[in-house]
Amino acid sequence: MRDLNESFDPQTTLLLAAIESFTVGLVIVAQNGTILHKNRRAQALLEDMPWTSPKMVPETLWHSCQTLMENQEERPGLFPAGYTLVLEDEISTNHGTVHMRAQWFDWDNNINQSSDCFLITLENRQQSLTDLANQEAQRYGLTTRETDVWCLKRMGHSYKKIAASLYISENTVKKHLKNIYSKKEQSTVSI
């Protein structure tokens, strides 16, 4: 988002590099709603949401941040010291459901000094399940068609829905899943 790496200390630069490598979207938001940093995965997920300003967090995410602030201001002793309150929500987008988590985050850098911010994680559940299914397909040596079936199964689709999606019979789905489970079992036995 920003090109401020020259003014960051090495620790902050390392933190930002780590944030960029995460498989979920990460957004660091100031208490006024300004986005301090977001990784590429977050940028892609944010673009699927109603978003009026690229410098401000979308309203659908900002509500959780406001709730965290209200809980801190109105009920300061509600949670024990060291307790991390995490608010979660599901957000529907054109490309699936995004699971959101928001929590307080101590952003410590040379520009903002130390300040409490929000850390928002965003995960497209369908994409995560597809990624996981593809990794498993490689690990178990699945064929292309078995991989297609396995991806849909990992997303929670019924045999009937898998069959309809892939234009095959339910019996063919059952046959592929039997082969998949057999390959999984062989893989775990050989470890």
pLDDT in tens, 149-174: 999 998 889 999 999 999 999 999 99
| Res. 71 pLDDT band, cuts 50 70 90 | confident
CATH architecture for the domain at 5-124: 2-Layer Sandwich (3.30)
Residue ranges per domain, the chain?
5-124, 141-189
**Beta-ladder partners of 34:** 56
pLDDT tens-digit map of 6-45: 555 787 778 778 878 787 899 999 999 999 889 998 998 8
| Res. 187 pLDDT band, cuts 50 70 90 | confident
Count of Cβ atoms closer than 10 Å to residue 35 Cβ? 22
| Res. 112 pLDDT band, cuts 50 70 90 | very low
Q: Output the pLDDT for position 177.
A: 95
At position 130, the amino acid (one-letter code) is: T
Q: Output the pLDDT for position 80.
A: 60
In contact, 167 and 129? CB cutoff 8 Å: no
- Per-residue 3-state assignment (H helix, E strand, C coil) for the chain: CCCCHHHCCHHHHHHHHHHHHCCCEEEEECCCCEEEEECHHHHHHHCCCCCCCCCECCHHHHHHHHHHHHHHHHCCCCCCCCCCCCEEEEEEECCEEEEEEEEEEEEEECCCEEEEEEEEEEEEHHHHHHHHHHHHHHHHCCCHHHHHHHHHHHCCCCHHHHHHHHCCCHHHHHHHHHHHHHHHHHHHHCC
Q: Output the pLDDT for position 72.
A: 74
* 1: CB partners within 8 A, 6+ apart: 35, 37, 38, 43
Q: Output the pLDDT for position 79.
A: 61
Distances from the Cα of 25 to the Cα of 22, 33, 166, angstroms: 7, 17, 30
Question: Which CATH number, 3.40.50.720, 1.10.10.350, 3.50.50.60, 1.10.10.10, labels domain 141-189?
Answer: 1.10.10.10
Res 49 pLDDT > 90: no
| Average pLDDT value for the chain | 83
Better pLDDT: 190 or 41: 41
